[in-house]
């Protein structure tokens, strides 16, 4: 059971490590266009939107979306705010060197099977695969949204594969095909191991 907040605690000498990122808010050029991308292609569910109130009669156009957290809905994982002042997105997406503040947003799929299903769905919809990579800690597909933001769809490899040397796993990348049946192949038989697990396997 969580302890009640008392307001009395010693002044910390360093920052408290957070659990992680709670949600992400994106400025988008066209809310309806981005809504279709995040719901119809990525699979998030709309859970709310800003409505006029006496204190805020003309709210910004803003919607909130949730993924599946073990069968439970989060208050929101992603929010979209329409901002017509955004520039046109670059014509072609690249991993590095883009004139955008957001490099990419990583979305976790619950399993390898679900991830492969999502890749097949996107390919059938004609979505361009920008990059297919086997990282040391995830297997990933990169696409981009209507605003040019990179979207990484991934599933996590088991912790014992990468937790012994996270830096080594982060620096590992095997580039794979992005078109045709080869883009839907996922090799789990020859996954490299990092750190202590790698040395134990030798």
Q: Does residue 96 lie within any of the structural domains?
A: no
Q: Whole-model pTM above 0.85?
A: yes
For the record, the structure tokens of 45 come out as 């569910």
Residue 189 and residue 129 share a domain: yes
Domain that holds residue 70: 21-87
Q: Which of 63, 87, 111 is the last residue of a domain?
A: 87
Residue 181 and residue 121 share a domain: yes
Q: What is the pLDDT of residues 92-110, one digit of tens each?
A: 999 999 999 999 999 999 9
Residue 123 and residue 52 share a domain: no
Q: How many domains does the chain have?
A: 2
Residue 199 and residue 111 share a domain: yes
Backbone angles phi, psi at 11, to 5 degrees: -65, 120
pLDDT value of residue 2: 61
Q: What is the pLDDT of residues 115-164, one digit of tens each?
A: 999 999 999 999 999 999 999 999 999 999 999 999 999 999 999 999 99
Q: Does residue 25 lie within any of the structural domains?
A: yes
């Amino acid at each position: 059971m969580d302890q009640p907040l008392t307001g009395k605690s010693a002044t910390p000498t360093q920052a408290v490590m957070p659990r992680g990122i709670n949600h992400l808010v994106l400025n988008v050029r066209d809310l309806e266009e981005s809504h279709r991308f995040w719901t119809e292609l990525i699979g998030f569910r709309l859970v709310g939107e800003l409505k006029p109130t006496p204190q805020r009669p003309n709210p910004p156009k803003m919607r909130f979306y949730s993924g599946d957290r073990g069968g439970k809905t989060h208050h929101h994982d992603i929010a979209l705010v329409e901002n017509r002042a955004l520039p046109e997105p670059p014509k072609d997406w690249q991993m590095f060197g883009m004139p955008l503040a957001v490099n990419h947003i990583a979305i976790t799929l619950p399993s390898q099977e679900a991830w492969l299903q999502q890749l097949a769905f996107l390919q059938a919809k004609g979505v361009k695969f920008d990059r297919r990579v086997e990282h040391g800690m995830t297997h990933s597909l990169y696409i981009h949204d209507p605003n040019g933001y990179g979207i990484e769809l991934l599933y996590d490899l088991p912790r014992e594969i990468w937790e012994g040397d996270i830096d080594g796993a982060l620096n590992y990348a095997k580039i794979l095909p992005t078109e045709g049946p080869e883009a839907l192949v996922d090799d789990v038989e020859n996954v490299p191991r990092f750190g202590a697990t790698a040395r134990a396997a030798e």
